[in-house]
Amino acid sequence: MAHVVKEYKLAVHANKIASEVQHDTIWINWKAPPYGWVKMNSYGLCKDNGIAGCGGLIRGCNGEWFGGYAKNIGKCSAYVVEFWGVLEGLKLARRLGFQAIEVNVDSHLVANTPSGPFYKEYFHYFGKKIWSFL
């Protein structure tokens, strides 16, 4: 019984320490695209074991929801899965009939690929496919 009491006291102490940690709140918000445009927010995720997936959504200039998407990519890098997210989002936007699309991707590497280190390796494939939507 003394062992249980000791573990309980350690748990209470650990909880007190954890609750004393200061957390900063960072407010984020969604900024609407220009009138007549839609905004595509694209995301990619890659687990430690390399299993990856992408997804995103398309909303109008008043915040209205037009659609969302998700896809299991399989094994690949975080960089590649971000490209897949953009490509899948553009496919959805085209199926929905949109032509004025603001693309928002959270990867600086993908957003800056034409001038980045991975240009020759990945942009040749994805760039051609993405360019076909423009």
pLDDT in tens, 56-97: 999 999 999 999 999 998 888 877 888 888 889 989 999 999
What residue segments make up the domains of the chain, in order of their start?
38-131
CB atoms within 10 A of CB 68: 13
List residues bridging with 59 in a β-sheet: 39, 65
pLDDT of residue 76: 82
For the domain bounded by 38-131, which CATH number is listed? 3.30.420.10
Q: Cα(40)–Cα(83) distance, rounded to whole angstroms? A: 13
Q: Give 11-48 pLDDT, tens digit per residue.
A: 665 555 555 556 666 666 788 999 999 999 998 888 88
Residues 123, 79 contacting (CB under 8 angstroms) = no
CB 88 within 8 A of CB 56: yes
Binning pLDDT at 50, 70 and 90, where does residue 133 land?
A: low
pTM (predicted TM-score): 0.65
